[in-house]
Amino acid sequence: MDSRAFLSEMELVARDPDTGRVELDRRVLWPGVAAWITEDHWSRERHSDNRAARVAASAACLVLMRSGCFLNRAGDDLGVCDPGNVALYNCDRVVHTRTSVARRASNAFYIHPDFVAHLAEEILPGERLDPLSPFSRLTGVVSAEAYLLYHEITSTLLNGEPVDPLRLEEALVDLLERVLRSAWHAKNPRRRLGMPRVRNRIPDLQARLSADHARPYRLEDLAAWMGCTPWHLSRLFTQEAGVPISRYLQRIRVRHSLERFRQGADSLADVALEVGFGSHSHFAGAFRQEFGCTPSEVRRRLRG
């Protein structure tokens, strides 16, 4: 399927099977890549007709979350998709999605194999990569720079602002390159500690933290929920997630604030409390640590 046919098929698949209406608020299509901007998570299980199956079989997919989270399972592998992690879909991988929260907002990027191949040549020179199955994992970490760029793109589209197509397309290419570069260069976590039962449930804990990020947590309570000692949980989580639990939770809280800014929240103090910080000053410090700028600066950028 060439790029033009790929995009035409995707527009048809985007239509609600009951109403016939395109169920996406806004969408961006350009040869080789389609970015679906929707207030809900796209799931391959939702589309069972032959046309959808053909499209799903012809493109790799990324899903980025603006809020909420869900868990994906493929065989024995489990991964969480939340504001800190991107879901990665190969064309030929059967993935079962388990939703963690009812309210969520996500964006799906369907990437034509030709575009995947071009990116792979630049990011992984000399390596052979199947553009239909480019991912070895279910999820990958999204950097702060990529996540902020992602929100700037979606804010422009969802807020109905005038769009400069060239600038938008360059931003989308930049975003996809950042996300794929991180996913392809990610190293496997160090497996120094045992306890595979607990280790395999780390994505469940990540989903719990993302789904209820505003509440206070204690290490002892989380360890009891996971069925291990606080010491083991702290070490295992850091090995699997790449950061300590407290840093992971702070990242999720800060990133959820971006969606509140896009939705029009004015009071930084109210947003700070809503996402789980005890004070505006604590929120501002964590925000600057994550994004390198103040909440006020980003709020202005997201509002155009």
Residue 22: phi and psi, rounded to 5, are -70, 120
Q: Which of 62-71, 185-194, 270-279 has the lowest mean pLDDT?
A: 185-194
Residue 49 has pLDDT above 50, yes or no: no
CA dist 279 and 266 (Å) reads 16
| Residues 127 and 120 sit within 8 Å (Cβ to Cβ) | yes
CA dist 50 and 135 (Å) reads 24
| Residues 260 and 271 sit within 8 Å (Cβ to Cβ) | yes
The string of DSSP letters for 174-191 reads HHHHHHHHHHHHPPPPP-
Nearest to 55 by CA among 14, 114, 98: 14
Q: Is 181 exposed, middle or buried (0-12, 13-18, 19+ CB in 10 A)?
A: middle
Nearest to 87 by CA among 114, 116, 108: 108
CA dist 103 and 62 (Å) reads 19
| Residues 172 and 33 sit within 8 Å (Cβ to Cβ) | yes
pLDDT at 163: 76
Residue 73 has pLDDT above 70, yes or no: yes
Beta-carbon-side half-sphere exposure of residue 216 (alpha carbons within 13 Å): 4
pLDDT at 94: 75
What DSSP designation does 82 have?
B
Q: How many CB atoms lie within 10 A of CB 187?
A: 6
Global pTM reads 0.86
Residue 279 has pLDDT above 60, yes or no: yes
Segment 74-109, tens digit of pLDDT: 888 899 999 999 999 888 777 887 765 546 788 888
Segment 180-232, tens digit of pLDDT: 999 998 766 555 556 788 988 999 999 999 999 999 999 999 999 999 999 99
Residues near 148 by beta carbon (within 8 Å), at least 6 away in sequence: 258, 291, 298
Please report which confidence band the pLDDT of residue 134 belongs to, taking 50, 70 and 90 as the band edges: very high
pLDDT at 36: 57
Segment 100-125, tens digit of pLDDT: 554 678 888 888 788 888 889 989 99
| Residues 62 and 172 sit within 8 Å (Cβ to Cβ) | no
- Domains parsed from the chain with CATH numbers: 3-185 (2.60.120), 196-302 (1.10.10.60)
pLDDT at 26: 42
pLDDT at 287: 98
